[in-house]
Structure 1
Amino acid sequence: MDKIEKRIDSFVQLGQFLSQFSRKEIQRNEAVALNDLFFDGFKHQLKLAEETNTWFTKENLLFACENWSNALTIENIQKWIANEHLNDNSSKKVAIIMAGNIPLVGFHDFLSVLISGHSVLAKLSSNDKHLLPFLAKYLELSNEDFKGKIEFTSEKLEGFDAVIATGSNNTSRYFEYYFKNKPNIIRKNRNSVAVITGNETESDFEALSEDVFKYFGLGCRSVSKLFVPEGFDFDAFFRGMFQKQDIINNTKYANNYDYNKAVYLMSEFDILENGFLMIKEDESYASPIASVFYEYYTNTDDLKIKLYEDRDKIQCIVAKDFIENEVKFGQTQQPNLWDYADGVNTLKFLSTI
């Protein structure tokens, strides 16, 4: 087995390990490698992650584990890397500055660097610091080639050859200046949108509720903006959202809902709301927690032009037979390995440094 095959095999094993942790149940599978060393420990890390960050509910943590276990199959990984020249790489040290908005949000970059044969120097967000270092230990024991190739730091980044940094529009300006002399991928704020045509079914809007509410809307793949036809009746939209009504029982979400509602009312903005979600007409893409912005359109061709012109602000477009590369309703938080953040092919970048 050559080195690339060994790396693939290690991540497939990791996917099998994560498959034991699902929303349906946490169930030990004796056939999974290294379980005696890691199963109980990962349960503990999940508990720590939940206690440290109240946005990281058990449901959301296990949803993230499910997604990664589904992604890390031999078929998916081979399809993902098929057109890249990863065996040709000489190993470089790649710094990764990770966000912390959703669980394991930096895992794709981490996976990309290691599968490419490079070393990782990772700077974790304090909001998501428990899971990845533990999973890294699993990888090091499953494949000795990873030993010495994974490092986590809270200090100033030094001694690296390239960088992948994820942050806000403000931090990206700092990143672009600070890392200007290194090969880099710098990611800024992006949001996801849904295009409503009026041909949606009840089940489409129910599926859309996953795109709006999963991870409390904190992900760049979370839908924060709707484009709706002139005169659209929002009743069907709100009926689809209703299945997520229990989200208001999360204290942090409820506090954000109350605060943002008060701000809107004091500013005398026109809003529609249902007790756990507000919608407001607004041209911006980034809506506050517990709210979604909407914008009317009259001409579909004009809307397609607008979406193209604003592509640097948009992560995903959720729609039904409207535009190329659209994401189906309910699917934004289940990306494939080849669905790159900001549309930048990380593997291609890593094969050229």
Structure 2
Amino acid sequence: MNDHHKTFIAFVKLGHFLRQFVTSETPTDERSQKLDDAITLSRHKNGWFTRENVVHSLKSWGELLTEENLSAWLVSYDLNKNSPKTVALIMAGNIPLVGFHDFLSVLITGNKVLVKLSSNDNVLILFLNSYLCSIEPVFKETIEIVDGKLKGFDAVIATGSNNTSRYFEHYFSKGPHIIRKNRNSIAVLTGNESKQQLNALGEDIFRYYGLGCRSVSKVFVPEEYDFATLFEAIYPYHPIVDHDKYANNYDYNKAVYLMSEFKILDNGFLILKEDKSYSSPIASLFYERYKNLDSLKERLATDSNELQCIVGEHVTKEEIAFGLTQKPSLSDYADNIDTVDFLLRT
């Protein structure tokens, strides 16, 4: 069995382990107990990483890492074209396992990975690394977790904010690189949505407390849109305000808006503010009214480099159905940059 096949099989086994874990009410063996402990520790280190959200991420990866899904993802690439290299990953830490797709992509294409973890998400990735190394020794030669300065790499994939991206560009622009900036996701409503669709939109807004680039941070609505329908549909998500960090952001942003005399809509756990920007603060959702859907489509096409997901029905070719932004497939690439293609061409 060659190293590529070993890598493929190891990720399939990881998927099987994750599926078993999320369907068991209590840990069934030593490895399950270690993952359970890692979930607890990750919450202690990062208050946004609630057990529910971490398990949601693990469940999603468990569903993706099957032989069928991995094969379907990779079938359109010629992995034999890969020139083995060492790829440095600078990971973000805004949501659980946000850097795992890059990690998977580098390894499954036959490369070595040099990982610089975010301090906000340095427990779960370390566990998955430990698990992979325990079931397939080849990973001990192809994975290196780095605390200090990155060196000895042939390409880099760095994820950060618009500010850190300028730093990354300065240091990494001479070699092959993918440097990701801030992106936001939006929803386009027409007023014809069902209550079920609007309820599902709540998942797109509130999952991971809105901290992901796939989290809906703004909605576009018709000029006469009545937000009472939306508020009613998303009311089941109101327990989110019981989370201390979310509640603190809700209280703070509401106070700022009120002191600034901004006109806001408020339902006790989400603040709606009319704003041209795509990026809204935690516990806030920006909205903008549109007169003409065709004009809005043109604007969204122009601003495509700022957007990750567009949620809607019969709005754009690239749209995502309500409730599915946080369930990307293996071929849904961050910033719409094909990571596997980049790795094979580099």
- TM-score (ref. length: structure 1): 0.96
Pairs within 5 Å for 1:3-152: 3-22=3-22, 25-28=24-27, 36=30, 38-152=31-145
Match of 2:146 in 1: 153
Unaligned runs of 5+ in 2: none
**What's the offset of the Cα at 1:19?**
1.2
Corresponding position: 1:259 with 2:265: no
Match of 2:235 in 1: 242
**What's the offset of the Cα at 1:44?**
0.9
- Counterpart of 2:203 (choices 183, 200, 210) is 210
- Counterpart of 2:156 (choices 163, 182, 189) is 163
The alignment yields a C-alpha RMSD, in angstroms, of: 1.2
Between stretches 137-146 and 54-63, larger displacement belongs to: 137-146
Pairs within 5 Å for 1:177-196: 177-196=170-189
Secondary structure of 2:158's partner? strand
Secondary structure of 1:147's partner? helix
Q: Is the 8 A contact 2:204 2:322 kept in 1?
A: yes
Q: Is the 8 A contact 1:4 1:87 kept in 2?
A: no
Match of 1:221 in 2: 214
1:169 counterpart letter in structure 2: N
Aligned residues: 346
Partners of 1:274 and 1:198 in 2: CA distance: 19
Deviations 1:73-113 (A, max 9, x none): 11111111111121332321100000000000000000000
Match of 2:319 in 1: 326
Partners of 1:262 and 1:28 in 2: CA distance: 43
2:17 counterpart letter in structure 1: F
Partners of 1:263 and 1:52 in 2: CA distance: 28
Partners of 2:330 and 2:206 in 1: CA distance: 22
Partners of 2:105 and 2:72 in 1: CA distance: 14
Deviations 1:222-248 (A, max 9, x none): 000000011100011101110100001
Match of 1:348 in 2: 341
Match of 1:32 in 2: none
Deviations 1:173-205 (A, max 9, x none): 111111011100000000000000111000011
1:82 counterpart letter in structure 2: V
Match of 1:290 in 2: 283
Q: Is the 8 A contact 1:192 1:316 kept in 2?
A: yes
Deviations 1:273-331 (A, max 9, x none): 00000001000000000000001111111011000000011000000121102110000
**What's the offset of the Cα at 1:3?**
3.2
Secondary structure of 1:20's partner? helix
Q: Is the 8 A contact 2:198 2:230 kept in 1?
A: yes
Partners of 2:18 and 2:209 in 1: CA distance: 23
Partners of 2:79 and 2:4 in 1: CA distance: 8
**What's the offset of the Cα at 1:128?**
0.4
Between stretches 142-151 and 293-302, larger displacement belongs to: 142-151
Unaligned runs of 5+ in 1: 30-34
**What's the offset of the Cα at 1:145?**
2.0
**What's the offset of the Cα at 1:20?**
2.8
**What's the offset of the Cα at 1:217?**
0.3
- What is the percent sequence identity of the aligned residues? 55
2:43 counterpart letter in structure 1: E
Secondary structure of 2:21's partner? coil
**What's the offset of the Cα at 1:115?**
0.3
Partners of 2:2 and 2:188 in 1: CA distance: 46
Partners of 1:347 and 1:139 in 2: CA distance: 20
2:11 counterpart letter in structure 1: F
2:76 counterpart letter in structure 1: N
Partners of 1:295 and 1:229 in 2: CA distance: 8
Partners of 2:162 and 2:24 in 1: CA distance: 39
Between stretches 153-162 and 330-339, larger displacement belongs to: 153-162
Deviations 1:135-173 (A, max 9, x none): 112112222222221111121111110000000001101
Partners of 2:341 and 2:222 in 1: CA distance: 39
- TM-score (ref. length: structure 2): 0.98
1:4 counterpart letter in structure 2: H
Q: Is the 8 A contact 1:121 1:152 kept in 2?
A: yes
- Counterpart of 2:330 (choices 318, 333, 337) is 337
Q: Is the 8 A contact 1:189 1:220 kept in 2?
A: yes
Secondary structure of 1:62's partner? helix
Q: Is the 8 A contact 1:112 1:346 kept in 2?
A: yes
Partners of 1:208 and 1:130 in 2: CA distance: 30
